[in-house]
Amino acid sequence: MIENKKIIVALGGNAILSDDPTAGAQIEAIRQTCDRLADLVEHHNQLIISHGNGPQVGNLLLQQQLADSEKNPALPLDTCVAMTEGSIGYWMQNEMSSILKKRNIDKSVVSLVTRVEVDKDDPAFTHPTKPIGPFLTEVEVAEAKEDGAKYIEDSGRGYRKVVPSPKPVGIVEFDTVKQLVENDVITISCGGGGIPVLKTEDGYTGVEAVIDKDFASEKLAEQVNADLFIILTGVDNVYINFNKPNQKKLEEVSVEELKQYIGEGQFEPGSMLPKIEAAVKFVETSDHGKAIITSLSNLDNIHQGAGTVVVKHKNNNEKVESLNVEMHESLITSE
């Protein structure tokens, strides 16, 4: 297991919400997740946890719309993001604290409602792309009758509402997160990508959007100078030519290679692409850090090189081995 590192782990919202949307089922999923993450704590790593909230904030918006009335008006999207950041963080804080206590690990856990600054001129505000909420059929979309709402087909699983997803400019509370981590406090931050805010003369004001949690997590990883950025998703590895006869699993991969694959359109926008882009950006901006994309079930094996490991450059041994193979093939050809 990796030891003595400052690690940011980004969890997807779908890793928290199973087919059962009840609070009890989500808490149980979080408990299992925290049990895996506690292994990192046990090996003396400083841990920052971030998480998605796409399914949760979408469900909350539906509840708001159903209850909307003059006396009980629906709350705006940024407030719903804050509410789900608070509720998921609370569940995670409770479960992690209980697990650490059972393991006789004396560490504090705190969930921090986090604001993330965005740019008012970000083109995302006129081109919504971020899926939130439950999967709907075409019939359910037609019956939704929500003015101005946009729905897209999502990964063959149905249609989901999409909202603006601007890129993060900076984490407002990053200095607080840094201080907590330096004092060995396990910190849950940037939940749901953080609450999107615009900077004003008087401070900050909320804006209706959902920030991609991988981009927000990457920005936080930059600002706190993390050693390792782990993005947990539904697969053990990233693939190119995914679901094709010539699909290939990516293990250790350089930034240069990934940029080439991005240019080829290898990764699905709104799905694997933001994870790849976030990992590349972190590795590019970090002096010593690396990024890993893998599944929660594969977390125990990352010290052995499991998952897709993103590095600035491939190690020299691989380059030498590749060169030797090329020279050998050249000699055979010449003979």
Q: Does the annotation count 101 as an active-site position?
A: no
Among 6, 219, 275, 281, the one annotated catalytic? 275
* Contact predicate 294/306, CB 8 Å: yes
Per-residue tokens: 218? 């990457």
Among 5, 14, 290, 298, the one annotated catalytic? 14
Cα dihedral 269, 270, 276, 278, rounded to 10, equals 130
The residue whose two tokens read 């590795």 is 283
- DSSP letter at 5? -
Among 178, 213, 219, 281, the one annotated catalytic? 213
Three-class DSSP category at 235: coil
Bridge partners, 6 (sequence order):
46
Q: Which helix (H) or strand (E) holds 65?
A: helix 54-67
Among 13, 52, 191, 192, the one annotated catalytic? 13
Q: Does the annotation count 270 as an active-site position?
A: no
100-to-36, 44, 92, 318, 323 alpha-carbon distances in Å: 11, 13, 12, 40, 48
DSSP string, 116-163: EEE-TT-GGGGS--EEEEEEE-HHHHHHH--TT-EEEE-TTS-EEEEE
* Contact predicate 22/62, CB 8 Å: no
Among 6, 130, 161, 281, the one annotated catalytic? 130
**Residue 275, amino acid:** K
Per-residue tokens: 9? 């782990």
DSSP string, 93-112: HHHHHHHHHHTT----EEE-
Angle at 288 between CA 284 and CA 291, to 5 degrees: 60
Mode of pairing for the β-strands spanning 186-188 and 46-51: parallel
Q: Does the annotation count 275 as an active-site position?
A: yes
- DSSP letter at 74? P
Phi, psi of 292 (to 5 degrees): -130, 130
Q: Does the annotation count 13 as an active-site position?
A: yes
Enumerate the active-site residues.
13-14, 130, 213, 275
